[in-house]
């Protein structure tokens, strides 16, 4: 098991969002002035300008994907940082010393210091989080990355272009300022979300694995579902159920570690 259950849900959500966005984009590209809706849809659809309608629909799909993907990241970070094994890291996504901090800034704060996460990944992830705010709050949003973050991206623009699917930072920043939404921007920035989430997941698993068997058992016992199993009368059946539950939820610990942690219960 190379990923947590939390990451699996996140990746499934992200994959679904991007697939739907791309499917809509492909479908819209096939529309012509002669296109009519199938009768079984039972809808009224008479675009005055098919090109304009397609552009607006594609823009809507991209904006929706931004919101859905970023919300999925928020949910992933929230859930994994509530896990009993995560408490050993000393980091929290759900609480910050600055009560007025935005979720975008909270993401940046949370990701900073996680091993294997490059600074540009954090800034680009923060950028799409702010982009989400601009979509949700429209003209009332002042969401933006800092001037120093912009400068850092510009300075690293060639390296980012070479390493991130020919992603042009300068164009993306200009699109952000002008509220322009492109598939290239979104798909690349979503990739940054995935990179950061995978790094968080790896950090979480490595933190859990180095704990003692007793500490692992104690962390597991804080989970209500695991508690329910352990409240059963002591038996080989209870032990098998306990091991099976841990393998399903924390399989990354490894079978030997799981069996040792459950052995004397």
Average pLDDT over residues 38-55: 91
How big is the CA angle at 233 (ends 227 and 236), to the nearest 5 degrees? Answer: 95
Mean pLDDT of the chain: 91
CA 80 from centroid of its chain's CA atoms: 11
What pLDDT was estimated at residue 264?
Answer: 56
Single pTM value for the model: 0.91
b/e sequence 42-77, b meaning 16+ C-beta within 10 Å: eeeeeeeeeeeebeebbeebbbebbebbbbbbbebb
Q: Which stretches of 30-156 are DSSP H helices?
A: 50-82, 103-111, 119-137, 147-155
One-character DSSP codes across 202-252: HHHHHHHHTS-HHHHHHHHHTSHHHHHHHTSPSSHHHHHHHHHHHHHHHGG
pLDDT in tens, 98-150: 777 888 999 999 999 899 999 999 999 999 999 999 999 876 778 889 999 99
Give dist(CA 163, CA 155) in Å, integer. Answer: 14
Taking the C-alpha atoms of residue 94 and residue 111, their distance in angstroms, rounded to an integer, is 13
The pLDDT, as a whole number, for residue 158 is: 96
């Amino acid at each position: 098991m190379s990923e947590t259950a939390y990451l699996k849900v996140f990746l499934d959500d992200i994959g679904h969002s991007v697939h739907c966005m791309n499917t809509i984009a492909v479908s819209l590209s096939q529309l012509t002035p002669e296109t009519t809706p199938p009768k079984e849809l039972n809808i009224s659809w008479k675009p005055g300008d098919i090109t304009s309608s397609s552009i607006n629909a594609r823009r809507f799909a991209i904006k929706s994907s931004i919101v859905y993907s970023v919300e999925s990241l928020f949910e992933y970070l929230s859930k994994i940082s509530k896990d009993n094994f995560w408490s050993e890291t000393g980091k929290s996504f759900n609480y910050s010393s600055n009560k007025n901090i935005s979720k975008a800034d909270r993401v940046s704060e949370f990701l900073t210091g996680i091993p294997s996460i490059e600074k540009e990944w954090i800034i680009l992830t923060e950028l799409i989080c702010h982009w989400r705010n601009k979509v949700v709050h429209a003209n009332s949003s002042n969401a933006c990355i800092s001037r120093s973050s912009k400068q850092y991206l510009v300075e690293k623009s060639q390296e980012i272009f070479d390493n991130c699917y020919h992603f042009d930072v300068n164009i993306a920043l200009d699109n952000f300022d002008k509220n322009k939404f492109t598939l290239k921007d979104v798909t690349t920035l979503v990739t940054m979300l995935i990179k950061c989430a995978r790094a968080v997941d790896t950090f979480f698993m490595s933190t859990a694995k180095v704990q003692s068997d007793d500490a692992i058992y104690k962390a597991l016992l804080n989970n209500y579902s695991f508690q329910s199993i352990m409240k059963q009368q002591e038996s080989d059946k209870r032990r098998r159920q306990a091991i099976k539950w841990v393998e399903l939820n924390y399989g990354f610990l490894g079978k030997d570690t799981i069996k040792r942690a459950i052995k004397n219960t």
